[in-house]
C-alpha cells in the first residue's frame, strides 16, 4: 500500500476517534493488519427506568396536588447510531453518522375497513431520525485539517464525548443535556489539528434560533429547525482546545458565540425600524471539562455557563407569537443565563482484584449534578423548579470493552416547595468501530 494511503488511513482513524472517544477494543491481530480504507461503527442504548413521582404537566405549578401520584415506567432506545467512513486517499476522507433516537419514527397511511374505507395517516411510534454527521475532510498534516459538512459542535463535555462508554449513568449527563443542544450538530466548517499534547478545533456555524428557546431547556432547542433547511441569517463561532500532557488526564475548554434573534425563515417582524429590529440575542457560552483514568479509577467533571442578551425582549416576543395549530415555536420566557456543573467517579473493583490483568470491568460509581436552566432577567420572577440537583449511584459491568450493562438509582432534588423525583434505571449499551 502506498505511504500516502497509509498516512490518510491514520488520519481518518484519528478523525473517528473524535466522534467515538475511547471507543472499541481492537483485537491483537489488528495491530499487524494492513490499514483499511473503510470504517463501520456506531453505538446504541436500550434502557428501562421507573420513576417514583408524578409526570403530570402541573406537577410543579400544583406540587401538593400531585405529591402522592403513582410513579411510571419507561422502556426506551435513547440512541441507536450507525457510522460509516471512508478514506479516499491523498488526504481526502469522508465521515457520516445516522442517529435513531427513541427507536425512530413509524408512520403509515392505512385504509380502515370498518370506517367506510376511510384513509387515515397514523404515527405508530414516536421518535426521531437525524443525520448527525456528514462531512468531507482534507488532511494537510496532523496539525491542520479542514472539515466541511454536517459536524458535531464540541461545546461542553457531553457534546465532545457523547458515546455511552464515556459516562457512567444510564442516560446522558442531565445538566448539559438540558441547557445545550445534545448532541449538538450543525452544517458548517471546521479547522482542527493536534500538536504535541494539544488538540484544537475552530468552527463556523449557523447561529441558534431564539424563537426555539424556553424556560425548561434554555437554548436546548435552538439548533432545531422545523423547515427543510437550517436558517442561517446569523453566523456563529465555536471553539475547543484540549490538553493531554499527563498520562490519563484530559483538560478541555470550549465556547460558543453568536446572535440568535432574527435567525428564522419568518422575518417580517425584524425589518428596519420595527419594534424588535435592534435585538441581537447574543448567546455566549464558556465550558470547562476534565477526565482522568488510570488502571482502576475514572473521574469526569464539567462546569458550564451561558448568557443570553436581550432575554427580556426575546421572552416577550416569544410569548406573543401566534398559537395557531402547527406553530413550532416556544411560548415561554427564556432565562438571561443558565449553568450546569457535575462530577462522577468510578472504581473498577475487578482491576483492583486482578491488578489490571482482565479486560472485564466492574465499575462502582457515584454521580452528582447541579444545574439551572432559568436564571431570570431583571424584574422577572425566578422559576425555582428549573434549578435541580441530581444524586445517583450505581454500577457498570463491561464483559468486553465494547459492551456495558448499567444499573443506577438516583433522585432529582428540587426546591422545598416541590416534590423530589427518585428513580431507578437499567440499560445495556455498546460502542465500537470496525475496520473492513
Over residues 205-218, the pLDDT tens digits come to: 999 999 999 999 99
Q: Which three cell numbers stand for residue 156?
A: 461542553
Q: What is the pLDDT of residue 19?
A: 43
Q: Report pTM.
A: 0.86
| Whole-number Å distance between alpha carbons of 232 and 32 | 47
Asked if residue 424 lies in contact with residue 49, where contact means CB atoms within 8 angstroms, the answer is yes
Question: Is residue 227 assigned to a domain?
Answer: yes
Asked if residue 304 lies in contact with residue 156, where contact means CB atoms within 8 angstroms, the answer is yes
What's the average model confidence in pLDDT over 369-398? Answer: 94
What's the average model confidence in pLDDT over 126-146? Answer: 93
Question: Is residue 315 assigned to a domain?
Answer: yes
Q: What angle do CA 171, 173, 176 make, to 5 degrees?
A: 135
| Whole-number Å distance between alpha carbons of 111 and 122 | 11
| Whole-number Å distance between alpha carbons of 160 and 245 | 19
Question: Is residue 30 assigned to a domain?
Answer: no
| Whole-number Å distance between alpha carbons of 177 and 378 | 26
Q: What angle do CA 408, 414, 415 make, to 5 degrees?
A: 160
One-character DSSP codes across 355-368: TT--S-EEEEEEEE
- Out of 11-25, 325-339, 363-377, least confident range: 11-25
Q: Which DSSP helix (H) or strand (E) runs through 19?
A: helix 3-19
Question: Is residue 257 assigned to a domain?
Answer: yes
Q: What angle do CA 163, 338, 153 make, to 5 degrees?
A: 35
Q: For residue 49, what are the contacts with CB-CB under 8 A and spacing of at least 6?
A: 73, 74, 76, 170, 171, 423, 424, 425, 426
| Whole-number Å distance between alpha carbons of 205 and 435 | 31
| Whole-number Å distance between alpha carbons of 130 and 78 | 13
Quote the domain boundaries for residue 141.
Answer: 3-25+35-105+128-435
What's the average model confidence in pLDDT over 411-428? Answer: 97
Helix, strand, coil percentages in the chain from 3-state DSSP, rounded to 5: 15, 50, 40
Domain tally for the chain? 1
Question: Is residue 237 assigned to a domain?
Answer: yes
Question: Is residue 355 assigned to a domain?
Answer: yes
Give the pLDDT band (50/70/90) at residue 282.
Answer: very high
Asked if residue 189 lies in contact with residue 136, where contact means CB atoms within 8 angstroms, the answer is no
CB atoms within 10 A of CB 115: 9
Q: What is the pLDDT of residue 35?
A: 66
Give me the CATH number covering residue 175: 2.40.160.10
Q: What is the pLDDT of residue 26?
A: 37
Asked if residue 256 lies in contact with residue 153, where contact means CB atoms within 8 angstroms, the answer is yes
Residue 277 has pLDDT above 80, yes or no: no
| Whole-number Å distance between alpha carbons of 397 and 167 | 13
Q: What is the pLDDT of residue 7?
A: 38
- Give me the sign of the Cα torsion angle 261, 266, 272, 274: negative
| Whole-number Å distance between alpha carbons of 184 and 154 | 8
Asked if residue 46 lies in contact with residue 426, where contact means CB atoms within 8 angstroms, the answer is no
Residue 291 has pLDDT above 90, yes or no: yes
| Whole-number Å distance between alpha carbons of 74 and 97 | 26
Give the pLDDT band (50/70/90) at residue 6.
Answer: very low
Q: Give the burial string for 349-380 (b: 16+ CB within 10 Å, else e).
A: ebbeeeeeeeeebbbebebbbbbbbbbbbeee
| Whole-number Å distance between alpha carbons of 101 and 47 | 12
- Tens digits of per-residue pLDDT, 344-375? 999 999 998 887 677 899 999 999 999 999 99
Q: For residue 171, what are the contacts with CB-CB under 8 A and spacing of at least 6?
A: 47, 49, 78, 177, 425
Q: What is the pLDDT of residue 377?
A: 86
| Whole-number Å distance between alpha carbons of 250 and 25 | 20
* 272 compared with 59, residue with greater pLDDT: 59
- Out of 8-12, 238-242, 316-320, 384-388, least confident range: 8-12
Question: Is residue 431 assigned to a domain?
Answer: yes
Give the pLDDT band (50/70/90) at residue 126.
Answer: confident
Q: What is the pLDDT of residue 256?
A: 98
Q: What is the pLDDT of residue 135?
A: 97
| Whole-number Å distance between alpha carbons of 41 and 92 | 20
Asked if residue 176 lies in contact with residue 222, where contact means CB atoms within 8 angstroms, the answer is no
Give the pLDDT band (50/70/90) at residue 436.
Answer: low
Q: What is the pLDDT of residue 379?
A: 78
Q: What is the pLDDT of residue 324?
A: 54
Mean pLDDT over each residue of the chain, to the nearest integer = 87
Measuring CA to CA, how many Å separate 266 from each of 209, 211, 330? 11, 10, 15
Question: Is residue 121 assigned to a domain?
Answer: no
Q: What is the pLDDT of residue 269?
A: 57
Amino acid at each position: 500500500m502506498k505511504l500516502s494511503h497509509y498516512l490518510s488511513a491514520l488520519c481518518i482513524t484519528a478523525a473517528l476517534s473524535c466522534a467515538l472517544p475511547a471507543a472499541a477494543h481492537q483485537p491483537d491481530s489488528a495491530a499487524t493488519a494492513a490499514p483499511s480504507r473503510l470504517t463501520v461503527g456506531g453505538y446504541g442504548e436500550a434502557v428501562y427506568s421507573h420513576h417514583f413521582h408524578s409526570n403530570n404537566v402541573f406537577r410543579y405549578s400544583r406540587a401538593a396536588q400531585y405529591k402522592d401520584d403513582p410513579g411510571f415506567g419507561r422502556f426506551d432506545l435513547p440512541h441507536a447510531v450507525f457510522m460509516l467512513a471512508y478514506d479516499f486517499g491523498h488526504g481526502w476522507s469522508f465521515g457520516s453518522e445516522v442517529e435513531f433516537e427513541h427507536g425512530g419514527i413509524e408512520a403509515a397511511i392505512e385504509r380502515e375497513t370498518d370506517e367506510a374505507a376511510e384513509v387515515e395517516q397514523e404515527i405508530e411510534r414516536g421518535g426521531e431520525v437525524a443525520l448527525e454527521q456528514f462531512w468531507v475532510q482534507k488532511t494537510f498534516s496532523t496539525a491542520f485539517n479542514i472539515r466541511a459538512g454536517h459536524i458535531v459542535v464540541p461545546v461542553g463535555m457531553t457534546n465532545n464525548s457523547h458515546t455511552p462508554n464515556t459516562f457512567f449513568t444510564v442516560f446522558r449527563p442531565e445538566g448539559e443535556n438540558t441547557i445545550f443542544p445534545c448532541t449538538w450538530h450543525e452544517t458548517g466548517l471546521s479547522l482542527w489539528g493536534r500538536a504535541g499534547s494539544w488538540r484544537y478545533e475552530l468552527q463556523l456555524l449557523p447561529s441558534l434560533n431564539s424563537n426555539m428557546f424556553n424556560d425548561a431547556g434554555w437554548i436546548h432547542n435552538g439548533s432545531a429547525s422545523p423547515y427543510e433547511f437550517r436558517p442561517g441569517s446569523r453566523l456563529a463561532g465555536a471553539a475547543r482546545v484540549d490538553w493531554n500532557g499527563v498520562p490519563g488526564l484530559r483538560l478541555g475548554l470550549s465556547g460558543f458565540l453568536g446572535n440568535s434573534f432574527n435567525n428564522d425563515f419568518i422575518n417580517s417582524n425584524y425589518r428596519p425600524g420595527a419594534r424588535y429590529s435592534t435585538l441581537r440575542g447574543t448567546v455566549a457560552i464558556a465550558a470547562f471539562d476534565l477526565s482522568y483514568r488510570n488502571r482502576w479509577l475514572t473521574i469526569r467533571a464539567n462546569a458550564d455557563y451561558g448568557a443570553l442578551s436581550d432575554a427580556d425582549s426575546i421572552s416577550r416576543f416569544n410569548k406573543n407569537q401566534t398559537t395557531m395549530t402547527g406553530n413550532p415555536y416556544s411560548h415561554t420566557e427564556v432565562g438571561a443565563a443558565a449553568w450546569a456543573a457535575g462530577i462522577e467517579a468510578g472504581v473498577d473493583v475487578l482491576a483492583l482484584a486482578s491488578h489490571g490483568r482482565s479486560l472485564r470491568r466492574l465499575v462502582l460509581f457515584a454521580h452528582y449534578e447541579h444545574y439551572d436552566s432559568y436564571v431570570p432577567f431583571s424584574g422577572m420572577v425566578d422559576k425555582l423548579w428549573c434549578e435541580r440537583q441530581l444524586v445517583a449511584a450505581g454500577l457498570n459491568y463491561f464483559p468486553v470493552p465494547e459492551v456495558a450493562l448499567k444499573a443506577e438509582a438516583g433522585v432529582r432534588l428540587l426546591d422545598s416547595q416541590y416534590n423530589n423525583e427518585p428513580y431507578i434505571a437499567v440499560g445495556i449499551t455498546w460502542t465500537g468501530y470496525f475496520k473492513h
